[in-house]
Amino acid sequence: MIEAAGRVADSTGNWVDSRAPAWARAYLRLARLDRPIGSWLLLLPCWWSAGLAAVAAREAVNIWHVLLFFLAAFAMRGAGCTWNDIVDRDLDARVERTRSRPIPSGQVSVGAAAAFLVLQALVGLAVLLQFNWFTVLVGFASLGVVVIYPFMKRSTYWPQIVLGRAFSWGALMG
C-alpha cells in the first residue's frame, strides 16, 4: 500500500511532511532528512574522535571542526542515500516498503536525483577541503565504501557490515 501522494510508506508524520515546502519534500526524503538517525550515526564518531584528539593534545575541541563535521554528516549521508536510491530504483519499485520512495514513485527523476547527489557531494567536498590533507585523503577513501554498499545487497546477506564501515569512517577523520 502506498501512502498519501508524496509520502514514504514507512516514514510519515514527520517534519518533512508537515513543515517543509512542498517543492522540497521529495528531495528532503531522498536525503532521508525525514529520518535523521543515519546522519547522527555518521556524525557521532566524528565528534567522538575529535574530542579524543583534543584530550590527547591537551587542547580544547575545535568548534569550527565540530560545525564542519555536522554539515558534512548531513550532506554526505544524504548523498549516500541518494546514491543508494539511484542504484536500487528498480529493486525499490518491487518492494512494498520502498516503492513509495521518491525515485520509484516518480516524485523525482533519476536525472534530478543525480543532480541533487552532485549538489550534496559538492557541499561535502567544500566542507572536507577545510581540513588537513590527511583528513581529506581519509574522506575521499570513504567514498569507496559508500559506492559499493548498494551492490552488497545483491552479493551478501550482510550488507549492513559495509554500511557500518561507512558510518564508522568518521572516527578516523576526527
Q: Cβ distance 17 to 28 under 8 Å?
A: no
pTM summary value: 0.90
Q: What are phi and psi of 8, to 5 degrees?
A: -90, 130
What per-residue confidence (pLDDT) applies to 23? Answer: 94
* Amino acid 83: pLDDT: 98
CA-to-CA distance for 132 and 130, rounded, in angstroms? 7
Task: State the CATH architecture for 15-173.
Answer: Orthogonal Bundle (1.10)
C-beta of residue 136 within 8 angstroms of C-beta of residue 8: no
Q: What are the extents of the domains in the chain?
A: 15-173
Spatial distance between the Cα atoms of 69 and 96, rounded to a whole number of angstroms = 34
**CA–CA distance from 106 to each of 6, 57, 110 (Å)?**
9, 51, 9
List of the chain residues with pLDDT < 50: 1-3
Residue 10: the pLDDT is 63
What DSSP string runs through 119-144?
HHHHHHHHHHTTS-HHHHHHHHHHHH
Q: Which residues contact 77 (CB under 8 A, 6 or more apart)?
A: 31, 32, 38, 39, 42
The closest alpha carbon to 146, from 164, 123, 173, belongs to: 164
- Of 89, 84, 93, the C-alpha closest to 152 is 84
Instruction: Identify the pLDDT of residue 3.
Output: 45
The per-residue pLDDT for 2 is: 41
pLDDT-above-70 percentage for the chain: 93
Q: Which amino acid is at 97?
A: R
pLDDT tens-digit series, residues 56-70: 999 999 999 999 999
